[in-house]
Amino acid sequence: MDARQLRGFMAVANCLSFSKAAERLGMTQPTISYQVASLERSQGLRLFARNTRGVRLTPAGLYFFDQMQRLCAEYEGLVAQYLPSSKGDHERGASPGLCMDIRQLQCFHAVASSQSFTRAGQSTLRTRPGIRYQIGCLEQSLGQNLFQRGHNSISLTEAGRLFSERVRGLLLDYERIVLQAKGIGTGEGGALTIGFLDGVLMQTLPGLIRAFSMACPGVRVKTMHVSLAHMFDAILAGEIDCGFAPTFEHISPVGIQSQVVLRDRMVAVMSEDHPFASRKNLSLSHLKGQPLLSLAESIGGLGVKWHKALCVKFGLDSGLTEYSPDFPSLFMAIGMGRGIAIQPRQILQEYGNARIRALELEGEDMEVEFVVAWRAEASSPLLPTFLQGFNRI
């Protein structure tokens, strides 16, 4: 893959239009179409689905685009960090205009490893002049000499040595990306395990999983019920690839990335014959001295910690809280009039009934976000395709 192919692909993927991408790059549409087709052919990937209504990324293309954005950002950081020369060269090297050229990097790595243009040409199936040309183009784009050339010898400059230490990792990462994209494209991309909570997105999630399965036929999709107390631990441990959970005060655990899929309000849930049930809303100060209901901490995790912090902040008696082992038991206790629970309105769609009232709670602290969360490092290559479905909610 050379820089022209990558630049063309990234432009089309960004605007999902060959004509707009060509205009943005100052190229003709046939030229950019040729570059993208060459990339697809050389890598054995189908990156775009084309029809009369336009163009869209295939699941393999979406993964490839997401990963190449990351890889290009790493390359620009590498150039800026390891190859600072004059101010002008540094700015040119670190700018978004510098496009990674895998072919040049492969030639550079071959020469750096063998200390020979001839041996590098043999290992990459290129001619010696071809290798020299690729190295020269790379050095020109970086504004740096990477090799010290002698009469019968070649060696890395200091800049070349620093550059070489990182290039091998980039190339290995690129090879992994291509292999994973091919696996996604053929439906042999492995499995995706999705963790879910009681009552959260239960009306939406099955349709999203079905759409993902249709986009990636052959991929094994598993679902696993996980309590809130263990959801993030299960993600970090690799037991599930992603999971759904509420976050309180917009905080996610270290090592977790997340995407908001639903914003909701916390409400006060009580039986219909509770003295407060006829009101339109409540403030938390009204709950002083009232018996409260919550999930047990072994099940509710962060939600229970938030409940206890709320009691401290607003002077509520946490000692009056009765803890339930699961949501059905919690809502049974609410219906029996044993106390008031502070829960997201979303949960009522699953467990609410005619004998239960939910009152709005006053105050900014009452907003909760439901997120889809995944491991920040070493996440599944199938995730970009799955997450794309949430953009349509």
Q: Domain 60-186: which CATH class?
A: mainly alpha
Return the axis-axis angle of helices 158-185 and 29-43, rounded to nearest 10°. 80
pLDDT of 280: 85
pLDDT of 188: 55
Q: How many residues does the chain have?
A: 393
Chain center to CA of 330: 34
**Amino acid identity, position 237:** A
Helix (H) or strand (E) holding 165: helix 158-185
pLDDT of 353: 77
CA distances from 286 to 271, 272, 275 (A): 16, 17, 11
Per-10-residue mean pLDDT, the chain, length 393: 89 90 90 91 87 81 86 86 52 50 90 86 84 89 85 84 86 83 68 85 82 72 90 92 82 83 88 91 88 90 85 85 91 93 85 85 79 84 75 57
Helix (H) or strand (E) holding 339: none
CA distances from 43 to 6, 179, 369 (A): 12, 9, 40
DSSP conformation class of 317:
-
Residue boundaries of the structural domains of the chain: 1-57, 60-186, 191-255+372-392, 261-369
Q: Structure tokens of 161?
A: 């040595």
CA angle at 332 for the pair 328 and 333, rounded to the nearest 5°: 120
Burial class (CB within 10 angstroms; exposed 0-12, middle 13-18, buried 19+) of 80: middle
**Across-strand partners of 264?**
368
Domain made up of 261-369: CATH architecture: 3-Layer(aba) Sandwich (3.40)
1-57 maps to CATH 2.170.120.12: no
Does residue 295 contact residue 330 with C-beta atoms inside 8 Å?
yes
Nearest to 230 by CA among 322, 311, 295: 295
The answer to whether 1-57 and 60-186 have equal CATH topology is yes
pLDDT of 10: 92
pLDDT of 90: 39
pLDDT of 393: 52
pLDDT of 250: 63
CATH of 191-255+372-392, one of 3.30.70.100, 3.40.190.10, 3.40.50.150, 1.10.730.10: 3.40.190.10
